[in-house]
Structure 1
Amino acid sequence: MEFDALLLSRLQFAFVIAFHILFPAFTIGLAMFLAFCEGMWLKTGKEVFKRLYLHWVKIFALAFAMGVVTGVVMSYQFGTNWAKFADLTGSVIGPLLGYEVLTAFFLEATFLGVMLFGWQRVGKGLHFTATCCVAVGTSISAFWILAANSWMQTPQGYAIDDEGKFYATNFLEVIFNPSFPSRYVHMMLAAFITTAAVILAAGAWQTLRKHQQAPTRMQMRLAAMTLLVLMPLQIAAGHWSGGVAHHYQPAKIAAIEGWWETGPDQATVLFALPDEDTRTNKFEIAIPGVGNAIMGLPKDEVIQGLNDFQGEHPPVFIVFWSFRIMVGCGLALLGLGIWGAFKWWRGTIDIPGLFHWAAVGGGTLGFIAVISGWIVTEVGRQPYTVYGVLRTEDSLSPVTTGQVATSLIVFMTVYAIIFTAGVVYMIRIATNGFDDKPTAPPEVERRAPGSPLGSVDDKAEVDHRGGSGTSEDQE
């Protein structure tokens, strides 16, 4: 592998976007969670929702700021490393990014100050409106970014002039390109799931440290139920997105599944080490005759393999394993949701034990799944920036290897310092618990297993039958 300007530019963009996407994936879901908490506080008057809001809004502010900064850095690279891409596709991509600023960024900028600093300065209704506007703004921002990226995956509604430049012939077709609906749903669900995993992890850690309070117990219940409800929907959305990719990007699907040969009745490859030199899978473990069924295709339908796309397919090993990491993280999060809901039903979710250790570890799974999914999406598009039309090597700026290497080292150094400091601070806020005096966790909840799910409030924080909880092995 030669580390030339092209590869280093791709690595630099991948490095920057991998850091950036962590923050939108978290803030989109967290903004919705804050709107939910404030709305429930206004509706029910329960202080537990107010305390949740005031606790998590501090983390939201820091994550939002870091997301904006990393996003600005990412956009600059279009002019430094990918000037040809910007020049050729600017008439299509540029307006979409401009709409994101006009509709989403302005909305967020207008109401973010009220949301963060207006708690004691404006009325409850206006403050709740500001929170909702910020939450809607984050979703609108994702809409335009996903529209632009999806157009690069499945381009339509455009033409190319005599100079090779793209221009839009129908902006509705550009925006609502074939892969956009499924990918937007998939990304939004990923954001909600990622946030739920973090909130569950924070509550679990507070429980293990015996800093459990009413908001701690409430956030664990809300997070567990979110995972339980949304993960099946996410699996369905992923299947939908895969079906679209099969139709428009067959080489990507072949790389995901590790299919080299074209034919009907494809197998489902569970484990393998794809080897592009021999164009085979080493140490393959597969289930014969299941691949077509998983894709929702007739058993006798022919599916193209990678050998039909020699020189035109993505790096197989990276795409193959990134997909499996994403799926593995998703299944683990589904398991956490089922486990947490079961313990809630049993009345034992507040007792420190194995579930809480698993939930703490699960706090990173959403981020890992998001990054892995984006690797599948972006690397799976190679060797094109605009799929099937504009190759990546034709999108590069006239930069030298030394220039890109220097900037990459600078980015890695600065990001390592700033990112580490910001994330460590957010983790400390999330895990240190709430401002008032911590209480010992109850031994069991005040209801029998199978009874309607009870409420959690500040007046019923401790079950005074004694003890601070037992291990899960003693339940």
Structure 2
Amino acid sequence: MARVQFAFTVSFHFLFPALSIGLASYLAVLNTVWVWKKDEAYLRLFNYWKTVFAVTFGMGVVSGIVMSYQFGTNWAKFSDRAGAVIGPLMGYEVLTAFFLEAGFLGIMLFGRKRVGEKLHLFATIMVAVGTMISAFWILAANSWMHTPQGHAITPEGLFVPVSWVEIIFNPSFPYRLVHTVLAAFLTTAFAVGGVGAWHLLRDRESRPAQIMFSMAMWMAALVTPVQILVGDMHGLNTLEHQPAKIAAMEGHYETHKGAPLILFGLPDDEAEETRYAVEIPKLGSLILAHDADAEIKGLKAWPKEDRPKSAIVFWSFRIMVGLGFVMLLVGLWSLWARWRKTLFSDRWLQRAAVAVAPSGFVAVLAGWVTTENGRQPWTVYGLMRTSDSLSNIDAPAVGASLIAFIVVYFVVFGAGIFYIFRLVAMPPDQKSHHELDKGPIRSAGITPAPAQEPRDGV
């Protein structure tokens, strides 16, 4: 029940950083082009998307705070034993990323006319840098739980730091960091591209819509192949350090030399076989180890109590990979349309972009399900079981709070997501009445004071 609660809250939370990380960088690019070219279309796009970013950022902060409380309420034993490692890493995120974002966010949202174009651009870049630093520390902490090193274990069973360099730069961290950040960029690209395509379907001549659609399709076409390559490298790393996770992802129960690639099937943990498997001989070993005759361990190589549940991991992995290839197809389609000079007139491409706009969100959630369920039954892989990490709390208490979370989240964050849909439904080429510099203040019924002219040279 505690795992279900954490899965629910972290899934809701990650929807917002997945967009805000990429959107912050996108805003920095738009602002840079505006300062450089003084093209009004880029300023309109900046004001259009900064409102969405502000709402997304706020919901991400609030939903993230809830998760931190669960370390005390539901996972106190884990916090007690691993707190000396995890606590400082999360503290570093607050002291670096969160303070940096908070310090410059207000300037980015409200300060263009107050601090000047260049300082405003600097503030926008600092917010984007802050989101990257935040991802750095959170993924360092999470990756250590997957591939722990740089610590010692006291006679009382406590994890204590020995080398912070080894803790932070643990074996899986570089791959997971790059994979997650690129996933955030692709999530943003397809969301922005979907919005741009939506407005192009209504007004083919809208220049702001053309710009956002073109930029998003460039990102899709260029970054998706890189993401697939990084995913392959991450898979090699996982095979080395978490082979049981790979076996569950691939649906292999038996150890094979020249393992087949199981495209589809129904993993059955009780029968220890994947039923109705559709296989391609030797392709599994070729993809996983880059050797068609390599030996790939099956789940039977581990005791039952040390295995992840295959069915969930098997299907979440295929959802993630399948959506990745859908993104690649749309990116290649956009290159073909661009070469034919039909990018803004190809209605079927634009309809496809609208249809795949949520694909990034689904893919990142499927990726988190794969990596976190594949780590089970361990909290700290190979060293601390999830069953030993729980607080002394009754299931009905966790269930009651889970129900409360579900109700509150769907009301509060549902309203926020609905508001975001309302924002992006507005045409980007009209004078946005929701610009943060003035819209929300006036819509709240408050008339701002007129700007004061400088006096006495001040």
Query: Which range, TM-score by smaller chain?
Result: over 0.9
Q: Secondary structure at the match of 1:200?
A: helix
Q: Is the 8 A contact 1:206 1:212 kept in 2?
A: no
| Number of the residue aligned with 1:254 | 247
Q: Please point out which of 204, 207, 211 is paired with 2:197.
A: 204
Conservation of the 8 A alpha-carbon contact between 1:264 and 1:292:
yes
- After superposition, residues 227-306 of structure 1 pair within 5 angstroms as 227-306=220-299
- Counting aligned pairs with the same residue, the percent is 50
CA offsets 1:302-322 (integer angstroms, 9 cap, x no match): 221101112211110000000
CA distance in structure 2 between the partners assigned to 1:402 and 1:170 by the alignment: 40
- Pick which of 336-345 and 188-197 moved more: 336-345
Match of 1:397, SS? coil
- Residue identity opposite 1:85 in structure 2: F
CA distance in 2, matches of 1:94, 1:282: 43
Write the deviation string for residues 241-270 of structure 1: whole angstroms up to 9, x where unpaired. 111110000000000111111121000000
More helix by share: 2
Q: Is the 8 A contact 1:203 1:431 kept in 2?
A: no
Greater displacement, 303-312 / 194-203: 303-312
- Which piece of structure 1 moves more, 295-304 or 200-209? 295-304
Q: Which runs of 4+ in 1 moved over 6 A?
A: none
The separation in 2 between residues aligned to 1:212 and 1:166, in whole angstroms, is 60
SS of residue in 2 equivalent to 1:349: coil
**What is the alpha-carbon distance in structure 2 between the residues aligned to residue 435 and residue 299 of structure 1?**
54
TM-score normalized by the length of structure 1: 0.89
Q: 2: distance between equivalents of 1:345 and 1:437?
A: 32
SS in 1 for 2:180: helix
Give the superposition deviation at 1:410: 0.2
1:21 matched to 2:14? The reply is yes
Structure 1 residue aligned with 2:320, among 314, 318, 326? Answer: 326
Name the SS of the counterpart of 2:292 in structure 1: coil
Determine the structure 2 residue equivalent to 1:162: 155
Q: 2:134 aligns to what?
A: 141
CA contact (8 A) 2:90 2:137 kept: yes
Structure 1: tracts of 5 or more residues without a match: 1-7, 439-475
Does 2:403 correspond to 1:409?
A: yes
Q: Distance in 2 between matches of 1:16 and 1:267?
A: 36
Structure 1 position 352, deviation (Å)? 5.8
Q: Quote the Cα distance in structure 2 between the aligned partners of 1:433 and 1:354.
A: 20
Q: Find out whether 1:419 has 2:413 as its counterpart.
A: yes
Structure 2 partner of 1:308:
301
Structure 1 211/56 Cα, relative in aligned 2: closer, same or farther at 3 Å? farther
Farther-moved stretch of structure 1 (291-300 vs 111-120)? 291-300
In structure 2, C-alpha distance between the alignment counterparts of 1:274 and 1:212, rounded to whole Å: 51
1:430, distance to aligned residue in structure 2 (A): 1.3
User: Does 2:49 match 1:50?
Assistant: no
Q: Distance between the aligned counterparts of 2:431 and 2:398, measured in 1?
A: 52
Provide the secondary structure at the position in 2 that maps to 1:274: strand
> Aligned partner of 2:332: which letter?
I
Which residue among 174, 180, 193 is the counterpart of 2:173? 180
CA contact (8 A) 1:84 1:394 kept: yes
Match of 2:452 in 1: none
Q: CA deviation at 1:120?
A: 1.3
Q: Deviations over 1:379-414 (max 9, x none)?
A: 000000000000000000001011000000000000
Given the alignment of the two structures, is residue 340 of structure 1 paired with residue 334 of structure 2, yes or no? yes
The answer (yes or no) to whether the contact 2:334–2:349 under 8 Å persists in 1 is yes
Give the total of aligned pairs: 431
CA distance in 2, matches of 1:400, 1:296: 44
Per-residue deviation at 1:437?
7.8
Alpha carbons 1:272, 1:284 under 8 Å: kept: yes
Change (3 A) 1:257 1:22: same
In structure 1, the residue matched to 2:384 is 390
CA displacement 1:349-395 (0-9 Å, x = unmatched) = 22262222211111100000000000001000000000000000000
Counterpart in 2 of 1:12?
5
Secondary structure of 1:225's counterpart equals: helix
* Residue identity opposite 1:232 in structure 2: P
Residues 308 and 376 of structure 2 are in contact (CA less than 8 Å); yes or no, is this contact kept in structure 1?
A: yes
Letter aligned with residue 324 of structure 2? G
Q: CA RMSD in A?
A: 1.2
**Aligned equivalents of 1:179, 1:131: Cα separation in 2:** 30
Give, in whole Å, the separation in 2 of the partners of 1:256 and 1:263: 15
Comparing 40-49 with 258-267, greater Cα deviation is found at 40-49
* Offset, 1:435: 5.1
Report the CA distance between 1:79 and its aligned residue.
0.4
The residue identity in structure 2 corresponding to 1:222 is: M
The verdict on how the C-alpha distance between 1:352 and 1:429 changes in structure 2, with shifts beyond 3 A counting, is farther
Pair 1:212–1:77, CA change in 2 (3 A): farther
Distance 1:352 1:423, change over 3 A: farther
Deviates more, 1:223-232 or 1:202-211: 202-211
Shift of residue 277, structure 1, vs aligned partner: 1.2
Distance, in Å, in 2 between the alignment partners of 1:127 and 1:42 is 10
Counterpart of 1:431 in structure 2 is: 425
Gaps of 5+ in 2: 433-458
Give the distance between the partners of 1:255 and 1:167, measured in 2 at CA.
31
Could you tell me how far 1:344 is from its partner in structure 2? 2.1
Relative to the length of structure 2, the TM-score reads: 0.92
The amino acid of 2:343's aligned partner reads: I
Other-structure match for 1:152: 145
Other structure's SS at 1:270 match: strand
SS of the equivalent of 2:379 reads strand
In structure 1, C-alpha distance between the alignment counterparts of 2:243 and 2:419, rounded to whole Å: 43
Tell which deviates more after alignment, 293-302 or 367-376. 293-302
Distance in 2 separating the partners of 1:160 and 1:108? 35
Match of 1:95 in 2: 88
SS at match of 1:269: strand
How far apart, in 2, do the equivalents of 1:370 and 1:342 lie?
27
Partner in structure 1 of residue 185 of structure 2: 192
